[in-house]
Structure formats: structure tokens, C-alpha cells
Amino acid sequence: MPRTPLERGMEKIREEVLELGGIAKQAVLLSVESLKERDVEKAGKVGELEEKSDILNLNIDESALKLMALQQPVARDLRFVNAMIKISDNFERIADLALKIAEIAQKYEKRELLKPLIDIPRMATTIAEMIDMDLEAISKHVSPDTDKLVEKDDLLDDLYTQIYNELISFMVRDPRKIDDATDLLFVARYLERIGDIAAKTGARIVYMVEGRRVWVK
């Protein structure tokens, strides 16, 4: 049976949101790579990804609003369209935060980092896993495992706390290192916030699929 204009429009939005989520994931991983390797070229690519995310997010908003105006979805379909708008905003916000990390990385093209990066790349890898869970759920139109998302988000919180305590100790021992330690603190904080967004996106998907609200911190 041929698909209706509403179904075609919804599928187009789904595909664009999946593309945007992939861009957000790539931006996070690349931003941390650029910092770890002190690679300004990679940092610049994060900027390009962030620009793509802005454009795609606007396109999704426009497509969703047009679909609601012309096809007037109701019930589950309306829930889907509304969720896609909010999830699109979430992914675009993740790309924004990745850009902030890349901007910090650009400061270290010719400077050594305060310390080798171990936990920060672990945070980026965990975030990529969370985004993958969100994207798979959107693609299959099923609810993600929110317990697992929360578990990974808790790991990010623990890593952030560990990084925070370590960097504060650097500052106390040598005030000359305050600026460099503060940069890494900001990076860890941005990653922690990205994890929160990825977890909340999972909860939004549950509502989209089931009409059931799940609260995550």
C-alpha cells in the first residue's frame, strides 16, 4: 500500500534527525580527539559539523511545522513530530557543546596539556554509546533502555567528579597551572552536560513511542 503524505513526511523527519544525531556524535568524538592530539585541523572540522547541525536542525523544524500545518497529525503521530523537534534541538545542542571543546583544543596547538588525557576520552566514548542507543531507538521506533542510559550517565558523573578533584589538586599545588586546569575542567563539564542531554533524549523517545513519561536526572 502506498504511503500517505503524512507517513512520507514523518519518515523524512526521522531520517534527518538520525543524520543530525550522527553529526552530534561525530562532533563529540572529534572534539576530544582534537584536544588529546592538539590537532587544530580536527578542531576546525568540529566547527564545520556544528554548522551542519544548525542548518539541519532548522530544516527539521521547518519540515515538522509544515507537516503539522498541512497534514494535521493527531495522537501518536503528533507525539512523534513534537518529539522529533525536541530531540533535534537536543542533538544540535550537543554539537554546540562539542564546538566549545574544540575551541579550547585550538589553544593548545603549540602548548602542552596539563596532563595526559585518560578519563576525558572515556567520557567521550561513553557519550557515543549513549547517542548510539538513542539513534537505534529512533530508527526502530522502540523505547531505549533508559536504565542503561542512566547507568552510563552516572558513570559520566563519577568521571567528572574524579577529574574535578584531580584538577583542583593541580591548582592547589601550583597556582601557575590554574588556567590550564580550568580549561580541562570546562571540557569535562561540557561532556557531563552532553551526557545529561543524551539521557534526557532517551526519556523523550520513550514518551514518543509509548506515551509514558520517564524521569531522568
Gap between the Cα atoms of 105 and 143, Å rounded: 36
Domains, the chain, with CATH or none:
5-210 (1.20.58.220)
Write the CB contacts of 22 (distance below 8 Å, at least 6 apart in sequence).
135
pLDDT digits (tens, 9 = 90+) for 119-144: 999 999 999 999 999 999 999 999 99
Contact 163, 182 (CB under 8 A): no
Contact 54, 91 (CB under 8 A): no
pLDDT digits (tens, 9 = 90+) for 89-100: 999 999 999 999
Instruction: Tell me the CB-side half-sphere exposure of residue 13, using CA atoms within 13 A.
Output: 29
Gap between the Cα atoms of 105 and 31, Å rounded: 8
Element (H, E) at 79: helix 75-106
pTM of the model: 0.95
Contact 53, 27 (CB under 8 A): yes
Gap between the Cα atoms of 158 and 212, Å rounded: 29
Mean pLDDT of 56-63: 97
pLDDT interval class at 1 (50, 70, 90): low
Gap between the Cα atoms of 74 and 79, Å rounded: 8
pLDDT digits (tens, 9 = 90+) for 139-169: 999 999 999 999 999 999 999 999 999 999 9
Percent pLDDT > 90 in the chain is 88
Closest CA to 81 of 71, 68, 94, 90: 68
* Residue 2, pLDDT score: 65
